[in-house]
Chain A
């Protein structure tokens, strides 16, 4: 584990392929913990993890909390409703105050891009980005990668389609960075209003914008569907949810264009019948619940690696 020497995990953008592989390898060893009767190891006993969530989250926050607890770390959760931001404190002051309590890790989610980066400069604790605005969501990309590895045995050379709201998606960005670093061919598609201009230049190679959902799915090994947020409708990105589902949703018919053994991923929470049809979400290709399981292992690995492992 000598090669992972970072203080923070702020994004996938700056990680090397080697570092990504280390996290995934460690995650693999932690998967087994959650299958035991007694789901706990003493690895991080005496360490403190603070989950600082400025955006609502069920899955990610629970996953980080359980990851900490299964490693015997003490976990404290702070969500917006109980935060001091309403009292006029700045986010940096809040981070410094938390830092003064000497936690080992602060996991942060915020609607503004760059907040984890700002906190990382201001605090001694390791910062884990659990989603910042439209920027990155590194642990999501890591768990997606783990899911793909487990079911495809590799990432290099795979064809991955990412469908939906690319413009606002931190999941899409982190996945594009990770998958192209590991040699996949990534194709994104969605309504033209939700695909940023020149998105293919986000990375040096391995990324293309497909002209249609169908052409993106064609011969794909992995189909990743992004959540569509209702408020985008009011911002005139597309007319109605109904039209979205007809023209851009992942249906059984469309999935037939993919390779016969293609797998389907979704970061959740799903809008059934909108971006993904229920028969696809619940079908044999869907690994959506496996993703959640791998998410826990990946987060255990991240906490473990950032705190320097066992003393």
Chain B
């Protein structure tokens, strides 16, 4: 089975490639790059990518798939369907399921469900501590053997610096990146939005930026002590960005990701008590948004990840204080990146691909992904940079509809998503 992606513009930052090339795929791998004036080989299915960008498959380092335990919000199959519709060929799912993914049996279950769905590659992230309770280390080695790609206690960050130190030291033995949701809960407890002008105005309890800053600096210092690979999840504050900048100056193995909502919206979106503007970390003020955009521009921020967090409408349609944190994001990430970052001139398309594919593959050591060099796995994202489209959440493939971006229009659309050489999503066909 051979597939030729012809006529497209290939962007593969890992190979320094940024020009018109045909990509030949055979047996799920990239076979060769062909010049576009070369004749089309025989016995190939041709995908006409004229006018489109052909990129190594996008990798989302941060999603919540809710299975096992909360299948009314999302299943691995529906999450994977939303992923490929959003251009993601691989998704890395957080362990805060019920039960928590803190052992090899759950890890294997998630991988099997991902295979059964047969859409995006599903890479589980294991818990750092048992039950993500912050006390005893989870069996990282066993989970690594079963297929996890990183460890994190995501929404329940390890509060004890001593335990976090041991976790980093231990994770290093298995070459696992430690992902941290930076939040010192002694500062943010009870908060439901960013602490600032808007929390004051809306009478809602704030979560100060300091809660994120403090944990980010702690993690950077621990990364220096332990030499571990540390990845700061969904960075949203000026202070946390300074921490990562410091780490990079020191040459530490510290990376970070940003969500589309944190580079798009501010805490002003909460006005009217919109629970689809409630997430953690919260939407920050203008000042922090500017720092985020600056850090995207100067390379301090390595990757874009969605923090796709499905919740059922019955759970979101509550008092603002009681509604759960989080929004879905798989299908809007590329549109938002074009709108907020590319069309505004903050980054070019090469950097866009780097943030969606090249860097995420490196951060979690995903062998053979994040590039389309011959021999690499044929995960491909094909984008029409000019196509205008409107996001309608009623058509979402996710089980949930909690998004603040319903009705937004974008220029730049995912046309097709290819996983392991197989077209698993095509905008016009399915």
Residue positions of A touching B, CB distance < 8 A: 13, 90-92, 110-115, 117-118, 132-136, 170, 173, 196, 198-199, 201-202
B272 nearest CB neighbor, chain A only: A117
| Pick from A110, A114, A118, A202: contact of B204, CB under 8 Å | A114
Are A202 and B203 within 8 A (Cβ)? no
Are A91 and B319 within 8 A (Cβ)? yes
Are A201 and B321 within 8 A (Cβ)? no
CB distance from A138 to the nearest CB of B (A): 12
B8-16, B28-36, B48-56, B194-202: which lies at the interface: B194-202
A110 CA / B202 CA spacing, docked (Å): 14
| Pick from A90, A133, A134, A198: contact of B197, CB under 8 Å | A198
CB distance from A101 to the nearest CB of B (A): 21
B44 at interface by CB-CB < 8 Å = no
B273 at interface by CB-CB < 8 Å = yes
A112 CA / B203 CA spacing, docked (Å): 9
Residues of B within 8 A of A133 (CB): 203-204, 321
Are A90 and B205 within 8 A (Cβ)? no
**Chain A binding surface SS class:** mixed
Are A134 and B205 within 8 A (Cβ)? yes
| 16 A/B residue pairs, CB under 8 Å, sorted by A | A91-B319, A113-B203, A113-B273, A113-B321, A114-B202, A114-B273, A114-B319, A115-B319, A117-B273, A118-B319, A133-B204, A135-B202, A196-B200, A199-B200, A201-B197, A201-B200
Are B203 and A173 within 8 A (Cβ)? yes
Residues of B within 8 A of A111 (CB): 321
A92 CA / B319 CA spacing, docked (Å): 9
Given contacts A90-B314, A117-B272, contact A202 B320 (CB under 8 A): no
CB distance from B360 to the nearest CB of A (A): 37
A112 CA / B318 CA spacing, docked (Å): 10
| Pick from A113, A196, A198, A199: contact of B202, CB under 8 Å | A113
CB distance from B25 to the nearest CB of A (A): 50
Residues of A within 8 A of B318 (CB): 90-92
Given contacts A114-B273, A117-B273, A118-B273, contact A202 B317 (CB under 8 A): no
> B344-385 interface mask toward A, CB cutoff 8 Å, 1 = contact, 0 = none?
000000000000000000000000000000000000000000
| Pick from B196, B197, B204, B314: contact of A113, CB under 8 Å | B204
A133 CA / B190 CA spacing, docked (Å): 13
| Pick from B201, B314, B321: contact of A202, CB under 8 Å | B201
Within 8 A of A (CB), among B155-172: none
A114 nearest CB neighbor, chain B only: B273
Residues of A within 8 A of B205 (CB): 134
Are A202 and B200 within 8 A (Cβ)? yes
A132 CA / B318 CA spacing, docked (Å): 14
**Chain B binding surface SS class:** loop
A201 nearest CB neighbor, chain B only: B197
B322 at interface by CB-CB < 8 Å = yes
Given contacts A114-B273, A117-B272, A117-B273, contact A134 B203 (CB under 8 A): yes
Residues of B within 8 A of A173 (CB): 203
Are B201 and A113 within 8 A (Cβ)? no
CB distance from A285 to the nearest CB of B (A): 30
A196 CA / B206 CA spacing, docked (Å): 10
CB distance from A176 to the nearest CB of B (A): 10
CB distance from B187 to the nearest CB of A (A): 13
CB distance from B342 to the nearest CB of A (A): 34
A196 CA / B201 CA spacing, docked (Å): 11
A115 CA / B197 CA spacing, docked (Å): 20
A72 CA / B319 CA spacing, docked (Å): 33
> B311-326 interface mask toward A, CB cutoff 8 Å, 1 = contact, 0 = none?
0001001111110000
Are B322 and A112 within 8 A (Cβ)? yes
Are A136 and B317 within 8 A (Cβ)? no
Residues of A within 8 A of B322 (CB): 112
A113 CA / B204 CA spacing, docked (Å): 6
Within 8 A of A (CB), among B85-110: none
5 more A-B residue pairs beyond the given contacts A112-B322, A133-B204, with a C-beta to C-beta distance below 8 A: A90-B317, A115-B319, A132-B203, A134-B204, A134-B205
Residues of B within 8 A of A110 (CB): 319
B204 nearest CB neighbor, chain A only: A113
Residues of A within 8 A of B272 (CB): 117
CB distance from B116 to the nearest CB of A (A): 34
> B192-224 interface mask toward A, CB cutoff 8 Å, 1 = contact, 0 = none?
000011001111110000000000000000000
Residues of A within 8 A of B204 (CB): 113-114, 133-135
A136 CA / B205 CA spacing, docked (Å): 14
A133 CA / B322 CA spacing, docked (Å): 12
Residues of B within 8 A of A199 (CB): 200
Residues of B within 8 A of A118 (CB): 273, 319-320
Are B200 and A135 within 8 A (Cβ)? no
B318 nearest CB neighbor, chain A only: A90
Are A113 and B317 within 8 A (Cβ)? no
A11 nearest CB neighbor, chain B only: B203
CB distance from B176 to the nearest CB of A (A): 38
| Pick from A112, A136, A196, A202: contact of B319, CB under 8 Å | A112
Residues of B within 8 A of A91 (CB): 318-319
